A and B are shown apart, each in its own frame.
Chain A
Amino acid sequence: MKRYAFGGLVLLLLVCPLVVAQETPPAPTEPVPAAQEPAQEVAEEVAAPSCSDCHDQGKTFLTNPHARGAAVDGGVPNDVCSTCHGDGAEHMEAGGDKSKIVVPRGQAGAEETCMLCHDKANDRMTRRGMHANSEAVNCLTCHSVHSGDARSPHLVSKPQLALCGSCHTQAASMRNKPYAHRLDRGGMTCSTCHEPHGRPAKGERSLALTGHLRTTSDGQAPCLSCHTEKRGPFVFAHGGAEAGDCTTCHESHGSSNPKQLRRATVKQVCMECHSPTGPAPLGSQPPSFHNLSLPRYQNCTTCHVAVHGSNRDPQLLK
């Protein structure tokens, strides 16, 4: 019942101001009595062309961070456009001649406009990261500077799943599997875990060290941003989790198997490590009463419930 009450309140509070706004349109600008304004000033005002006279993007710039602090009377002045496009006077005088205006495109466009401001010390903006500027991938490949989807922050040109999935098809198709994170719903997107601008550090073991992943604020794997209870530390840590990482057992992008596991059955997940057939690797042998042909022992986690680590039982039984 609470969720309905909450939803109802949201509806009421949000719709009311909108309805009021719809019903009481902005008061039309009062015509300035000609007698009170010098005629020359009025003539100049009429003559001054605006980029948005021809380009609708000028209007949508009211949600655009690039025009922050510059909006005037529901529009953006030409200065905002000229930051990236240069002085548009000639372009206007020539009736919109496209050759007389700067149109940043491709790698060069990104480097000569976007990177002038965005290439700060911030590691994420490195020129040599995963998506370093190239003709194939550059700022303008993913960001739509003028008309990003109203619901898409950071001027990303499409919903992230569609955008990233257009190249990263393998990862995107994993999302169709029955057990997957709910991407593009509830605020979770590809960039919740991935750093699209890339951090060049690479590592083998630690997820937090791999270059394309975001980390928690203290530098741990992104999985732990939400699944905080798995952070531990545990008195009896699971060696597989500590020596490996979450992806030792789980498929992060989506899986055909329950719990996004890498294998179809729990016993397979466990036994592939817990079979010391040789001398070297980590992973103990279960005692012989674990008869894998019996249903009771096929789901190891029925007894070993604390597979992520335990503070209370050395065998991870609670």
Chain B
Amino acid sequence: MTRNRWFLLALCLSATPLFAQTTPIDLEIGYRWTDISGNEDMYRTQINEDEGLLLRALTLATIDFGGKASYMDHFRLDISDMGVGPASALRLETGLSGTYRFNLRYRRTDAFSALPAFANPLLSGGVIPGQHTFDRTRDMLDADVEFLRWSAVKPFVGYSWNRFEGPGTTTWQVGQDEFLLSQQLRETDRELRAGAAFELGPVQGTFTQGWRTFRGRESLSLAPGAGNGNGSGTVGGRPITVGEITREEQTDVDTPFTTLYLSGQATSRIKLIGDFARFAADSESDGTADATGSLASFALSRFFSGLSEQTSGRAKNTTWRGGARAEVALGDKASMTTGYRREHRELDGSALIRTLYLQSVTFGGVDPRDIEVILNATNAFEREEDVLDASVSVRPLGPLSLKAGISQSSTDVTIAPDLSEIVVSGGQGGTFDRRVRSFQLDGNYARAGFILGASLRRDNADDPILRTDYLDRDRYRVHAGWKAPRYFRAGITADETQQSNNRSDTRFDAKLRQFTADVEVTPIAALTLRASGSRFRSDSNVLIRRPENFIIEESVHLERGKAFEGGLSFAWSRLSFDGSLSRFENEGSFPFELDRAQARLNVQVREQIGVVGEWAKDEYTESSFAIADYEATRFGVFLRLRR
């Protein structure tokens, strides 16, 4: 990907000589240092800001080409956080009015995860991090060109590229134990699309035909020292160990898709809108796996000393959705919208899995032989959803606006799992229907900087599909705010969501309440003070059945959160300062505290040149699990050029 970034940079910079001297530029570049104590993996999982050179921001935009706008008459380049990221972006927009428009977007994110307790059966032995970790990057590129030469039809072509790659660790459950594997992953998704936006009399629309390909390659091998597996016990007196594991897997998916969007003004008061999308994703996957060691299979009631597995799978997902909507103006102060949508999703999959168990013997140690098991599995899934909705908006009295809407959503799901999946029968297949009726009422009053808004939504369902689906849900929201020009702004918001499924076998009940208040004061033009505070409370209960003893108990999840944030911005002469402090604490099921502080000082050395100093501190503490705690300080010095 480095090569691509060089290309992108060269492409963007090649345009700079075209700019007039008046081109506004905003650049900030410098170096950042980090000082981390405690669990550095946790810091990287949550924040991951690294030490090194950082192009914090570059904006370069103009519409002034000094009268030489032959190839472009506007140009805008934005770059942010490029260098030691962990999330950087580049965006380029250019074009020539009436001829073409070109957009290029590039994003890069570092994806890191190494959590101490996640996927970690060895935590009690002090082993960290968990067994599922990764240190990967995701690069994304989108380029789109629109041709604007013709007024009736405007063709476009676009290309997207997304690559996710890097090392990681994972586990494989084989031979009655789990083994830690080192993993190398490289997944690339490409999409080419072409189409046209058109305007034919009163009808306007967009047609797109696209082709997407996904190529995934994964290599896995036994991690060093992981041959004893996670289990410390034995099977029939034999320890379960492996000497070697190798796995190679590849997945190819091809997806053509078509979308159509149409809109037209039927009469002066009625606008009709329709859309349709369809894609058919076809995947082929192959894999090989080899393992040697001392292993066991309860399914075969045998020990074996090696395994060789080949898998070949194919899956197809055909999805289409379409809808139509009418927007009707009912006089100057009222309007109505009504629409219908249908989505159909169909998934078929089949796999042939051939597993050769080498040098197997019975648990009694007799009947040595190689055994091949062939599994031919098939799966099918179908989901259909219909949505009908209507809403009316009225503005009866000047600043007062009201909106009321109803909708009905029906979902039918049919799952036909292969029998090979059925370990404990029940709940893995069948037909599931659910119908939800909703009602929503919103009101807003806005006058002289004062805003008062309230919202109510009520949903009622007849059946759940998943156990955590609600049968009744109510949402309330109230917001009030006041904004006085220049010197004061304040707002309060209260939200509550209650959902439940009161069936005796589920007893799902969840409630979320949040209250937020914020205020911003600007006593003098150079100084702004701001503060906000929020409290939230989340409770969720649902019955579960423990698999080991079938006892039914309550699964309880609680969050008792408080968040406070305060800051100030100050600008005087050649100095500007921005600082903030925040604290987030949760006393629920997963108690922790997170304190953050940051400050930024900009000293304008010359009219167009400034020096920026930055400091930030994050302190994360888990009250019941100190091994996850970290404290991270970052400071940086940046040069800022602005003209």
Residues of A at the B interface (CB closer than 8 Å) are 2-4, 6-11, 13-15, 17-18, 21-22, 25-26, 60-65, 67-74, 120-123, 126-128, 132, 134-137, 150-151, 153, 166-167, 169-170, 173, 176-179, 182, 185-188, 200-206, 208-209, 217-220, 226, 228-229, 231-237, 239-240, 242-244, 248, 256-259, 262-266, 268, 271-293, 295-296, 298-299, 301-303, 305, 311-315, 317-318
Contacts and interface: CB of A to CB of B under 8 A. Distances in A.
B73 A69 contact: yes
Interface in B267-296: 273, 275, 277, 279, 281-283, 285, 287, 289
B327 interface: yes
B80 A151 contact: yes
A63 B93 CA distance: 12
B421 interface: yes
B561 interface: yes
Contacts of A14: 13, 27, 29, 55, 58
Nearest to A257: B590
B547 A170 contact: no
A123 B131 contact: no
A73 to B, nearest CB: 8
Interface in B161-193: 162, 164, 170-173, 178, 187, 189, 191, 193
A128 B391 CA distance: 9
A134 B395 contact: yes
Q: Which 8 A-B pairs have the closest CB atoms?
A: A186-B87, A187-B89, A278-B505, A121-B204, A7-B53, A235-B349, A204-B409, A219-B277
Interface stretch (B235-243, B311-319, B362-370, B570-578): B311-319
26 contacts: A10-B29, A62-B23, A135-B444, A167-B479, A169-B491, A177-B594, A178-B46, A186-B85, A186-B86, A187-B89, A204-B434, A209-B321, A217-B208, A217-B257, A226-B109, A226-B138, A233-B253, A242-B347, A243-B466, A266-B118, A278-B506, A284-B422, A285-B547, A298-B121, A299-B119, A311-B311
Interface class of chain A by DSSP: loop
A74 B381 CA distance: 61
A257 B561 CA distance: 13
Contacts of B135: none
B385 A217 contact: no
B69 interface: yes
A81 to B, nearest CB: 15
Contacts of A3: 52-53, 83-84
Contact of A128 (B208, B335, B350): B335
B426 interface: yes
A52 to B, nearest CB: 12
Contacts of A314: 351, 375, 377, 418, 420-421
A182 B87 contact: yes
Max chain A CB contacts within 10 Å: which of B26, B411, B453, B467? B467
Interface stretch (B60-68, B300-308, B597-605): B60-68
Interface size class of B (residues with CB under 8 A): 35 or more
A21 B399 CA distance: 51
A50 to B, nearest CB: 15
Given A187-B107, A286-B547, A135 B399 contact: yes
Contacts of A69: 63, 69, 73-74, 97
Given A178-B594, A229-B187, A203 B420 contact: no
A8 B52 CA distance: 10
B544 A275 contact: yes
A302 to B, nearest CB: 5
B55 A311 contact: no
B91 A153 contact: yes
B582 A178 contact: no
A200 B337 contact: yes
A134 B88 CA distance: 36
A280 B431 CA distance: 9
B359 interface: no
Nearest to B608: A22
Contacts of B282: 233
A2 B279 contact: no
A123 B274 CA distance: 10
B172 A317 contact: yes
A112 B374 CA distance: 70
Nearest to A304: B173
Contacts of B444: 134-137
Nearest to A317: B173
Nearest to A189: B89
Contacts of A167: 479, 491, 493
A187 B6 CA distance: 19
Contact of B327 (A126, A244, A285): A126
Contacts of B401: 134-136
A172 to B, nearest CB: 8
Given A177-B584, A187-B80, A292 B251 contact: no
B534 A169 contact: yes
B261 interface: yes
A209 B275 contact: no
Contact of B423 (A206, A239, A287): A287
Given A170-B495, A202-B389, A277 B253 contact: no
Contact of A71 (B63, B311, B395): B63
A43 to B, nearest CB: 25
Interface string B562-594: 010100000000000000001010101110101
A121 B152 CA distance: 13
Contacts of B563: 173, 176
B89 A302 contact: no
Contact of A203 (B2, B54, B387): B387
Interface in B38-53: 45-46, 52-53
Given A68-B63, A150-B61, A178-B620, 12 more contacts: A6-B5, A69-B63, A71-B64, A120-B204, A209-B385, A235-B283, A235-B350, A257-B590, A280-B464, A286-B423, A302-B131, A305-B171
Contact of A68 (B74, B84, B506): B74
